[in-house]
Amino acid sequence: MNVAEQSIVHVMRHGQVENPGGVLYGRLPGYGLSELGHEMARRMGEFWRDVPLTHLRCSPLQRAQETLAPTAAQHPHLEVVTDPRVIEAENKFEGMVFGKDNRALRDPKMFWHMRNPLQPSWGEPYKEIAARMMAAIRDAAEAAGPGGQALIVSHQLSIWMARRFAEGRSLVHDPRRRECTLCSVTSFTLRDGLVTAVGYQEPVADLLPVKHGRKFKVGT
């Protein structure tokens, strides 16, 4: 295989969000990075500084745009393409505070939204998330060009669905077991529009918050 014919699309999750109230913010406006999130973004700017990126793409949400900013500053010759296909997944619980022991889930008004966890019925279907993400990844690979490298900044569930689809795994999963920490990078190697390899790394693992004695992975 001619390596020059391949393109790599790196999909990075955004940094930590300022959210002291514990709101499931989803696609709500006004949720930017915390102080730690900005430090994560700055470190990722250094991480990408010497990588020969040829294309930049980003979710329209504030936290993703702020995460990409330091990297975009390192590559001023590249235009940032805002792509709504790499946005956070839609969620019927958006704006709610789950509270201790997930009390919000016991609200009778929300029972209907929990009728089918395999779809899931409380939000955007997994298949639709995977389809829009893979379309954006293929477009990014084409924009990057043969032998090029693209960077997309997106969100945990969206990235995880793209990875599971590319690896041929079931999209149904335990949210607590998603391998997609803050500012992690999931890399897709493509040739002729097909994914030939998937890689994963955590460049700012040392900055990840610790919850209950372990690195905290769950979030949006």
pLDDT at 69: 98
Whether 220 is in a domain gets the answer: no
Residue 148's nearest CA partner among 49, 4, 14 is: 4
pLDDT at 117: 63
Whether 207 is in a domain gets the answer: yes
Whether 51 is in a domain gets the answer: yes
Say how far apart CA 40 and CA 182 lie, in whole Å.
Answer: 8
Mean pLDDT by 10 residues, the chain (220 residues): 79 97 91 98 98 98 98 98 97 74 60 58 88 98 97 98 98 92 98 96 95 45
Whether 211 is in a domain gets the answer: yes
Q: Specify the long-range contacts of residues 93-98, CB closer than 8 Å, at least 24 apart.
A: 93/24, 93/26, 93/122, 93/123, 94/24, 94/25, 94/26, 94/27, 94/28, 95/23, 95/24, 95/25, 95/26, 95/28, 96/23, 96/24, 97/21, 97/22, 97/23, 97/24, 98/22, 98/24
**Cα dihedral 78/203/163/169 (nearest 10):** 170
Whether 202 is in a domain gets the answer: yes
**H/E stretch holding 74:** helix 62-74
Contacts of 183 (CB under 8 A, 6+ apart): 12, 13, 14, 15, 40, 41, 43, 44, 67, 202, 203, 204, 207
User: Looking at residue 121, which CATH number applies to its domain?
Assistant: 3.40.50.1240
Say how far apart CA 191 and CA 64 lie, in whole Å.
Answer: 27
pLDDT at 212: 38
pLDDT at 76: 97
Whether 84 is in a domain gets the answer: yes
pTM of the model: 0.89
10 Å CB burial of residue 187 (0-12, 13-18, 19+) is middle
pLDDT at 213: 38
pLDDT at 130: 98
**H/E stretch holding 114:** none
If one counts the domains in the chain, the total is 1
Full domain range(s) for residue 181: 3-215
pLDDT at 217: 41
